[in-house]
Structure 1
Amino acid sequence: MTNEATPDERREFVLATLSERGRLSTTELSERFGVSEDTARRDFREMAADGLIKRVHGAALPISPAALPFSGRYRIASDLKARLAKAAARLVLPNQVVVMDGGTSNLEVARHLPRDLPATIVTNSPPIATATSEHPMLEVILLGGVFDKRSQMTLGARVLDALRDVNADLCFIGVHGFHAEFGLTTSGYDEATIKQAMMKSAAEVAAVATPDKFGSAAAHKFGDLALVDVLVTEGSARAREWVTAASIPSRIVYC
């Protein structure tokens, strides 16, 4: 194809290709439309600035819907999240200490914990603390820090200090993007540091993920895929194919 294609047509091609196979290089875009690699890089730069893609060295990746503000994320795939959360809640055993990261999927997990389950929940998420307030057998420890309105979590040094004293059985970690090359990512720098500390505080790490997070990446890496011991996801062909291709060593719970 020649360079008669408009920038909008190139954008449509980029988004369609990322949706289909999850990665597109500047070289591929350049060759596809007969434009220079400088033009391809400019296309990627402008699309990233508009929040349409995630730029990495020499390529573009899909942007995860989890990078949206909390209120916007909560409406995405709500029925699927509830189904996954119900299965994930069964991972919590009586009398365990459980660290729960913020995020909409983990909020659903908290809501699906049995009312007669005795356990201790340690979280930096005020919404999770509120959601578990009517569970009579749960002790809830809310980690204090600077409240981040976008993520609806407390962040900062005080949260990190508190996590150093936690010896948990299980950690539910929120992940914005799962990528075979770039690992576990999140959109906030401070969030990444907190997530690392949460995973270190627990004997086992679990993550709940809708398939739209697979193959996508956010700005900040906080760990490798191998750090997730249990992955709860949809049993769709798309999810199974990605998990197989990525060679994830986790125990997979399909729902």
Structure 2
Amino acid sequence: MLKEERFQLILNKLSEDQKVTLKTLSEQLKVSEYTVRRDLKELTDQGLLKAVRGGAVPHSPTPHHFADRLNYQTDVKRAIAEKALGLLQNGQVVVFDGGTTAMAISSILPRDLHITVVTNSFPIVNVLESHPNIEVLFAGGRLNKSAFASIGHDTINFLRNVRADIYFMGICSIHPTIGVTTIYYEESEVKKAIVEVSKKVVALTPNERINTAEAFFICPATSVDVIITDDQGKESTEASFKDLGITVM
């Protein structure tokens, strides 16, 4: 079998099952596990999957640039945002990161809600500028132009002084064993700092980002208290994370 044929079969299997293992692929392709491992590395280098110990999982299909993500799956984001409102109450300190789903929540916050919002997102600051009862603290720093959010040393130092009741974390990829990951190193460091200072971590993720992985680690899945996803993916998400004590909404 030609290498290109193996690649296509691997990608087809990954699309069907959302994961592949070295042992299974070795048997199906009739090649050694060493050859499969080499194929998975090459496919990872091409950005077509994420090689992990013992096999591979998909990359998240989410667009990378904020402008592209803003109008991507808007109905799903709205549904997730409406579920998230049920976790909010007066007096809380709430962190929103640079995710567009977090922005969707900020855009529908009730006018009579009294909370303090901490964010590194320029668009969220703009959305909340006119809210009459929300105090906004902006974690300044260097601008990540693809996300319209601040990153870097100053941002992280600011966030480490916060003690948040809830962190609404925009998710690029989440996997029960690999954990929460993203494509940008500096973004991972900011999110990691927020997780460390938050009483409750709420992952906001459409179903398509479940059981995917990217290059840079944020936290283990067990650091997440609640996953809010779309109704279509709720059952499969519960099945993936049922043994970790995570609430799925």
Same fold (TM over 0.5): yes
Instruction: Give per-residue Cα distances to partners, 1:139-192, cap 9 Å, x unaligned.
Output: 111111111112322111111211122122211112221112111112222222
1:241 matched residue in structure 2:
236
1:35 counterpart SS class: coil
TM-score by length of structure 2 reads 0.90
Q: How does 1:135-154 map to 2 (within 5 A)?
A: 135-154=131-150
Distance 1:67 1:58 in 2: 27
Q: How does 1:1-255 map to 2 (within 5 A)?
A: 3=1, 6-66=2-62, 68-236=64-232, 238-246=233-241, 247-253=243-249
Distance 1:251 1:32 in 2: 37
Distance 1:169 1:36 in 2: 50
Which stretch has the larger CA shift, 226-235 or 208-217?
226-235
Q: Indicate if the aligned counterparts of 1:173 and 1:205 stay in contact, CA closer than 8 A.
A: yes
2:42 counterpart SS class: helix
Task: Give the deviation of 1:38 after TM superposition.
Answer: 4.5
Task: Give the deviation of 1:114 after TM superposition.
Answer: 1.3
Distance 2:94 2:60 in 1: 26
Q: Indicate if the aligned counterparts of 1:54 and 1:218 stay in contact, CA closer than 8 A.
A: yes
Instruction: Give per-residue Cα distances to partners, 1:165-222, cap 9 Å, x unaligned.
Output: 2122211112221112111112222222211211222222212111111110111222
Q: Indicate if the aligned counterparts of 1:90 and 1:113 stay in contact, CA closer than 8 A.
A: no
1:90 counterpart SS class: helix
Distance 1:48 1:232 in 2: 28
Percent sequence identity over aligned pairs: 34
Q: What is the total number of aligned residue pairs between the two structures?
A: 248
- Label 1:73 to 1:55 Cα distance change in 2 as closer, same or farther (>3 A): farther
**Which stretches in structure 1 are left out of the alignment for 5+ residues?**
none
**Which stretches in structure 2 are left out of the alignment for 5+ residues?**
none
Which stretch has the larger CA shift, 238-247 or 165-174?
238-247
1:64 counterpart SS class: coil
Instruction: Give per-residue Cα distances to partners, 1:6-29, cap 9 Å, x unaligned.
Output: 444433322232222221123433
Q: CA RMSD in A?
A: 2.0
Which stretch has the larger CA shift, 156-165 or 50-59?
50-59
1:18 partner amino acid? L
Q: Indicate if the aligned counterparts of 2:234 and 2:248 stay in contact, CA closer than 8 A.
A: no
TM-score by length of structure 1 reads 0.88
Distance 2:58 2:167 in 1: 27
Q: Indicate if the aligned counterparts of 1:24 and 1:59 stay in contact, CA closer than 8 A.
A: yes
Which stretch has the larger CA shift, 8-17 or 100-109?
8-17
